[in-house]
């Protein structure tokens, strides 16, 4: 297939490009910046601005399928910016796919669209979207995913959504580096009881899931028009796993414990202070982050396994060992 990957130069996007190239597809990566590292992989690179419909149309033209992985991420920032990229940008991708006769679209969603602040343990696909959001990122990912799934079967386009959770890997530019930076600075604290269960996802597993979902998406596919969590087969106890990783890379582990109520209140106070001061930087704590650090959020692989044959190719032990090698000093 001729496949366009939006956000193909990102952490997950690049892994998807690599996986699709390895499977023999003709791959194009769409991004706003130049992509010499993508072209070195044997893929084509084009400029893509999700804010411009003509740019999206030009990037989509000539492709059989699209993996829409581009998004504005983060837990802080103007809601309008998240709406523009994540909701309106996705809407433009859908419009271009229909206009250009694209047959298949796989959308990269987020489990945070369903996170309502309560514990979710081994949750399956029937988990509903949250009714209240503490950050514009999960809100706009939920809105965009709903539009993608509603478009399935309309005007010749088949769609599905995948929700990889806490993606990790050696090239991770955000999650693990920030976590270890706080640990090395002596500022990492356990939030809540410290026994919450969380699912991770190695980036190669997420990429394989996208490739399988795309290749097996047809009118009779059970995953058409549906969303799926994509995670490691085994969840982790978050804070013992973090302590283990810190030890493996030579960093101090979490120091002390902060009750969830205290962290949540501190997050609310930080959000208010940042808004009043109109600061663009991310606050040191937010209500959403406090809940993410303290609550359980683990998800079942059973639906993805049953409906499009997904199985992890990198185990939790292998993923953890890779992180230890990549981030050791």
Global pTM reads 0.96
The tokens for 2 are: 């001729």
Distance (Å, rounded) from C-alpha 205 to C-alpha 251? 27
β-strand partners of 162:
108, 228
Backbone CA torsion sign across 216, 220, 224, 229 = negative
Residues 6+ apart with CB under 8 A from 251: 180, 183, 184, 329
Cα angle, residue 63 at apex, residues 60 and 67 outer, rounded to 5°: 70
Q: What are phi and psi of 27, to 5 degrees?
A: -115, 135
CA distances from residue 191 to 139, 261, 264, 282 in whole angstroms, order as listed? 23, 9, 9, 18
Cα angle, residue 232 at apex, residues 296 and 120 outer, rounded to 5°: 20
Residues of the chain with pLDDT under 50: none
pLDDT of the residue at 315: 97
Return the beta strands (E) in the chain as ranges: 2-6, 26-31, 44-47, 65-68, 104-108, 120-123, 158-164, 167-168, 190-191, 197-198, 201-202, 227-230, 236-237, 257-258, 297-299
pLDDT of the residue at 34: 78
User: Which residues are the active-site residues?
Assistant: 137
Q: Beta-carbon neighbour count of residue 127 at 10 Å? A: 18
Contact 195, 293 (CB under 8 A): no
Distance (Å, rounded) from C-alpha 282 to C-alpha 279? 8
Cα angle, residue 206 at apex, residues 282 and 18 outer, rounded to 5°: 100
Contact 99, 278 (CB under 8 A): no
pLDDT of the residue at 280: 86
CA distances from residue 153 to 101, 146, 217, 224, 225 in whole angstroms, order as listed? 13, 14, 11, 8, 8
Which conformational region is residue 208 in: left (phi greater than 0), alpha (psi within -120 to 50 degrees), or beta? alpha
pLDDT of the residue at 124: 84
Contact 283, 185 (CB under 8 A): no
- Give the start-to-end residue ranges of the domains of the chain: 2-165+201-232
The tokens for 325 are: 């090698």
- What is the CATH class of 2-165+201-232? alpha beta
């Amino acid at each position: 297939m001729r496949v366009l990957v939006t956000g193909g130069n990102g952490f997950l996007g690049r892994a998807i490009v690599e996986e699709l190239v390895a499977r023999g597809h003709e791959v194009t990566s769409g991004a706003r910046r130049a992509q010499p590292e993508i072209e070195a992989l044997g893929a084509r690179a084009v400029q893509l601005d999700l804010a411009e419909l003509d740019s999206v149309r030009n990037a989509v033209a000539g492709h059989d399928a699209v993996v829409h992985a581009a998004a504005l991420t983060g837990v802080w920032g103007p809601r309008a910016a998240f709406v523009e990229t994540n909701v309106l940008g996705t809407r433009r991708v859908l419009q271009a796919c229909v206009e250009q006769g694209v047959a298949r679209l796989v959308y990269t969603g987020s489990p945070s669209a369903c996170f309502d602040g309560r514990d979710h343990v081994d949750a399956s696909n029937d988990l509903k979207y949250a009714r209240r959001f503490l950050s514009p990122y999960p809100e706009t990912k939920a809105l965009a995913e709903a539009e993608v799934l509603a478009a399935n079967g309309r005007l010749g386009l088949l769609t599905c959504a995948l929700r990889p959770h806490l993606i990790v890997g050696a090239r991770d530019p955000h999650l693990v580096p920030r976590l270890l930076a706080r640990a090395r600075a002596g500022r990492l604290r356990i939030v809540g009881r410290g026994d919450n269960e969380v699912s991770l996802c190695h980036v190669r597993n997420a990429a394989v899931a996208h490739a399988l979902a795309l290749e097996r998406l047809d009118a009779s596919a059970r995953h058409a028009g549906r969303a799926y969590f994509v995670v490691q087969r085994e969840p982790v106890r978050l804070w013992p796993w973090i302590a283990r990783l810190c030890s493996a890379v030579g960093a101090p582990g979490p120091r002390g414990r902060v009750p969830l109520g205290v962290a949540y209140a501190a997050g609310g106070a930080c959000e208010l202070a940042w808004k009043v001061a109109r600061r663009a930087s991310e606050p040191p704590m937010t209500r959403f982050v406090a809940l993410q650090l303290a609550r359980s959020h683990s998800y079942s692989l059973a639906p993805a396994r049953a409906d499009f044959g997904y199985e992890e190719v990198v185990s939790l032990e292998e993923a953890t060992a890779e992180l230890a090698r990549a981030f050791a000093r």
